[in-house]
Homo-oligomer: A and B are copies of this chain.
Amino acid sequence: MARQPTLEFWFEFASTYSYLAAMRIEGLAEAAGVGVRWRPFLLGPIFASQGWTSSPFNLYPAKGRHMWRDMAREAARLGLPPVQRPPDFPQNSLAAARAAAFGADQPWIGAFTRAVYEAQFARGESIAEPGSVAALLNRLGLDGPAIVKAATSEPHKSRLRVVGEEAKSRGIFGAPTFLTEDGELFWGNDRLEQALAWATGERPPGLR
């Protein structure tokens, strides 16, 4: 049997379009015969290095208005529940990202990632507090407080900084981003299907 190709899925918990990708990627990847490598990261430092002090959807109100409307349309089109806005946007995603980075190679990473996004964008709940993250882990039958505590201690605590440097060095500027094993970068939920096809060796005709 041939080796299964892998696609890296770089996501930020505060990112709305990362939510759409997170809800879809496991099913689509399985159908395509592609493995998913979950790469939680923080977009804040990358945005800050571009001079942005908040989400571009807040900094540019017209862009933000379109995004929320587009999210409503996309959620309906993809069969997801109506989008709810969390109490603050963007949410502080540090606690969730730390737990996800701690569990990135664990069998529960997909379920946990979806649980965080559903709490935030399908139920409009805050995911900012470590206690909220622990509760979501508990509901998956895990020891939430233990995981949150471990994720906040060294050496795990500093992992997100290293991951952030990797993201920048590999050309990541937004989320979601999909990276194939040969380094092809696809940005945005709209490119998930293309990224999976690329991972299986498909190429657009005549592409140089």
Q: Which residues of A contact B (CB under 8 A)?
A: 50, 60, 62-63, 65-66, 69-70, 72-74, 76-77, 79, 82, 168, 171-174, 184-187, 190-191, 194, 203-208
Q: How far apart sit A50 and B56, CA to CA, in the bound complex (Å)?
A: 11
Minimum CB–CB distance for A28 against chain B, Å = 17
A66 pairs with B204, CB closer than 8 A: no
B73 pairs with A194, CB closer than 8 A: yes
A66 pairs with B171, CB closer than 8 A: yes
Q: Most chain-B Cβ atoms within 10 A of its Cβ — which of A72, A194, A204?
A: A204
CB within 8 Å for A62 and B173 given contacts A69-B185, A73-B194? yes
B65 pairs with A171, CB closer than 8 A: yes
Write 26 A-B pairs (CB below 8 A) sorted by A numbering.
A50-B60, A62-B168, A62-B172, A62-B173, A63-B173, A63-B174, A65-B171, A66-B171, A66-B173, A66-B187, A69-B185, A70-B186, A70-B187, A70-B191, A72-B207, A72-B208, A73-B207, A76-B204, A76-B206, A76-B207, A77-B194, A77-B204, A77-B205, A79-B205, A82-B206, A82-B208
Q: Most chain-B Cβ atoms within 10 A of its Cβ — which of A62, A168, A204?
A: A62
Contact with A60, one of B62, B79, B173, B208 (Cβ below 8 angstroms): B173
Q: How far apart sit A208 and B173, CA to CA, in the bound complex (Å)?
A: 32
